[in-house]
Structures are given as structure tokens and as C-alpha cells.
Amino acid sequence: MMDKEQIKEFAITEYRRWLTCATDPKAQNELKNLAGQEEELVDAFCAHLRFGTSGIRGVLGIGINRMNEYVVRRTTQGVANYLNRTCSHRPRVVISYDSRDKSDVFAMETAKVLRGNDVEVHLFPHLAPVSVLSYSIRKLSCDMGIMITASHNPKIFNGYKVYGSDGYQIVGDVPDAILEEIDKLDFFDGIREDHSGIQFVSDEVSKSFCRDVIAMSTADGILGNQMNELSVVYTPLNGTGNHYVRQVLDGIGFNNLTVVGCQEMPDSSFSTCPAPNPEKITAYNEGFKALDAVKGDIIIATDPDCDRVGVSIYHDSMKVLLTGNQLGVLMLDYLCHVRPPKPGQFMIKSIVTTPLAERIAEKYGLRTVNTLTGFKYIGEMITSLEQAGRLSEYYFGFEESNGYLMNPFIRDKDGVSSAMLAVEVAAWCKAAGKDLIQRLHEIYEEFGVCRDKTWNFFFEGPYGSLTMGHVMDWFRNNLTAGSSIGGVMIQERIDYLQDTGLPKSDVMSYLLEGGTQLVIRPSGTEAKIKIYIFETENLPTVEKDIENIMNSFKG
């Protein structure tokens, strides 16, 4: 790993090369604007935007550490080389995109490079959610899918997600194999493009997706006309969910819906929600205005690529945003009541998702399987079940980061079916005379309270990844079983870079005295380290110690 001076020297050298080679006027203008801005210049050229967690994601702009046409074309050439090397037939790829700045441009650049390498290309002619892409991969018998999106990140980001033939993000050796192909390439030479032969995906694929989601509804015969007594405000946060969520809700007979007008249509600047993340209460500001206007019960939000869903309500006259864990627990509880599990079925969740779900699952006879963070691991398990003829054993899957899948008809988290499920859960609660928080308290009374907290510690700038590596090294080398943090003894430590029975991953997990669980991992998509704590009692000394450790690296 390079030190700071080496990183700076590398960045300046690469910047000068781009000044010579990136000849189009817009790129030249952006490059010249970086002159004299050393920190921004170094950040833009300090390292290649790495093909990591099933793709790339970064800030929009010029440079090798930014999302731009040059980076997208080089990445796609590497993907095409991988496909042509590993497929025994002519590869087929489907491409979709969200409403972000340049998403449509990057989607077309991706399509042209694939066509230049004799790959059969199916491009969505309009915005489509991640889950529709996952669905279309199998529907169109494709070898791969590519989604242009930065999911829930702020508006300055965009990204490039790669999916395998089974409909979940690539795992195992595939990302490294594609990275190896990309690393052989230059940004300015060896990129082949062809504008001809791009096929557009038929609207029938989207219609089929919606029909399959509607068929999952649990409301028929359970809620009846009571469902429309619930008043729902929906916001797609200017993303891909608008048409799909509304069509599905209409399809199950739900019509008491108000859509947030200023967030209804695509808006790449996300004018009213600069951070379009349903995990953040600020994303609901416009939603609460609409909720007040119609005197509604609940706000449902989906992120720009519509793979995550969030819920916010008024409870005791206070604005309350449900955490991803709370919403997942409510969904699981509801499903167990209205669609009782069959013997042998199980729930899948990530290792950073609340253990409260396991206690609920146990009561209803469900087994629990824990996976690494990333819904692709849930998708991988679903595919393994299907191949073994045991797909019916899947019951429900979710992650604490607001990702849910109630039916294994696709292999990724789905904001469309989850929005439908959230409506049905809330309507069921209202029919019983309670809101979601009141039902959550009933669950706590039966199964015990599980408080969970997530911190995000950001390490941005040209040396952020270097610092993040030092942070993980510190936890790995200094906190062991028998030592303590915040005065609380560590009883057990798990290093997921070691052999744990799961794929190796840069994650540390600690079980503390009293049952508290602590998990530390670097984000695969942002310059941050995420820390999760699951506790039975408030542990301020532990929290303070963690905060001091993390801040010491920010110096």
C-alpha cells in the first residue's frame, strides 16, 4: 500500500496523462478546473475506482477515482472480455438505470461497448428498479445484468452494479476475475464500441413483474375492504419506483394513496431530498407535509433504484422513522400471523440484522440462517435452494439496511413488493386499532426489547481508504477475547477474514459480557466504516470508547 507522498505523486502523474489523452472539450474543461486545487485533484486521481462490491460506485466527475464515461467504458470492456472468455455461447446482457445524473448516458455507453464486443444487449428504454432488472435477467435468459445506479447515496454519486445469470449481484471469484480483466486495460486505448444492434426491453417484462408481485399479496381474504381505511402517502424520492409501486397497489385494490408531488417524477438533482435515503428522517420532510394535508396514517418511501423501502409515521404526535430492523420485524410478525410457516421453512438475514427476528422465527417454527452483509448472499442461497428443488423452504429474507424479499421470485431485495407488504402490515394493524409502533411494543413485551444502533464514520478524501485499513487493523489486533472495551469484557471475537464457514470478509464481531453484540465493517460502497451494536441495556461507556477510538484516526 502506498503512503501519502506516493499517492500524491501517482495522482499528479495520472492527471497530466489525462490532460494529454482525454481530448473531448468537456473533459478538458473539467481537468483544467482541477489545476491549483491539489486536494481535489489528488482525490480524483489517487487510485482507480475499484471494481469491488459487485461493481463500482463513486462521485461524478473527471478522473480515475470518479464516475465518468471513460471509467464506465473501461469497466464495460473488462466485463465484455470476461464474458467472452467464460461463455461458451454469444453472451447476453440486460441493462437498466435509475434517475441519477448521467445514468441514461452511462447505460448507453455500457450498451455500445458491449455491442462493440459482439455481446447481445437488451436495454430498458426507461427507468426501471433494481428488482425489475433482477427479474429480467432470468426472464430474458441473460448471462448478466448491469444496473446504473448509486442506490440511496447522495446526488453527487453514481454507480454500476453487476448481476450474474441467476439475478443476484456477482459473488465469489467473479468480481476478482472481472477486475483482472479491467486492470489489463487503459482508459484511452483498446475500447471497442458499436452503436448498432441494441435491443430494447419490451414493456411486457415490466407488466409481468408487476403481475407476479400482485400475486404475492396477502391482503385478499384477510383485510378485505378494511385495507382502504388506511391512508398512505408514498414518495418514490424522484426515483424508479413511482410507476411500479402505484401499479402494484392498484392491482391489489388499494386506492387510498397520495403521492408526494414534488418527488413523484425523476429529478437528477433530487431538489427536495439531496440524500434520497429512506433510512434518513430528512428524506421524509415533503412526505410529512403531504401526510398533514390529507391527515394520513403512514408514509412509505422507496430509494432511487427502488430496492429499499422505509416507513415513517406520527406516534403520540411525534415524527417516528422506523429502523430497517423494526420494519423487518413487523413484516416477519405479520407474515407469521397471516401466512403461517410450513415445517422446514426458514428466514435468512445478515449478521448485522437484529437477533430479535430469530426469537420471533423460533416461536413460529422457522429456522434462521445468517449470512454476510449484502443481499447477494441471500440471493445466492435462494438459487442454491432452487437448484436442490427446495425453493419452497424459503420464507422471508431481510437486512437491517431496509432491504426485504417476501418471495423468492427474484434474487435481490425489492422495494416494490416490500412497499406493498408495508401497506398490508399497516392496514392489518389499523384494523386492530393500533399503529405500527404500538404493535412493535407488543412484540417487545412478548420477545424482549432489542435495542440496536448503527454508526457511520466517514473517511473521505484521497487518503480515506488508507485510514480505514488502519482502523480495521487496530480492531483486529487490539480487541481480543478477554480484553475489554468501555470497561465491558469481550467474551468472544470472530474475525470474518478467517475460516468461519462464510465467505471471507473484512468484518469483526464481538460478543460482550451481558449479551451485547458489536460488529465493525468497512462499507463496500462508501468511504465509511459502519459499526453496529445490539444491546439489552444502554451501554454509554462502550459507545463513548468506540467514538474515541474512531475519532483518534481522524486526527
User: What per-residue string of b and e applies to 352-374 under the rule 16 or more CB within 10 Å gives b?
Assistant: bbbbbbbbbbeebebebeebbbb
Regarding beta strands 528-535 and 517-522, do their DSSP bridges make them parallel or antiparallel, or are they unpaired? antiparallel
Give φ, ψ of 284 to 5 degrees. Answer: -105, 5
Find out whether 290 and 237 touch, Cβ atoms under 8 Å.
no
Q: Tell me which of 131, 151, 217, 417 is the catalytic residue.
A: 151
* Separation CA 161–CA 375 (nearest Å): 13
* Separation CA 372–CA 521 (nearest Å): 11
Instruction: For residue 151, indicate whether it is catalytic.
Output: yes
**Cβ neighbour number for residue 555 with a 10 Å cutoff:** 5
Block residue for cell numbers 432452487:
386
Cα radius of gyration rounded to whole Å, the chain:
24
The three cell numbers of residue 5 are 507522498
Q: What is the dihedral of CA 391, 396, 398, 403, to 10 degrees?
A: 90
In sequence order, what are the residues at sequence separation of 6 or more whose Cβ sits closer than 8 angstroms to the Cβ of residue 479?
Answer: 485, 490, 493, 508, 510
Alpha carbon separation from 555 to 68, 455, 552 (Å, rounded): 32, 19, 6
Regarding beta strands 92-97 and 144-148, do their DSSP bridges make them parallel or antiparallel, or are they unpaired? parallel
Find out whether 309 and 300 touch, Cβ atoms under 8 Å.
yes
Residues annotated catalytic, as ranges = 151
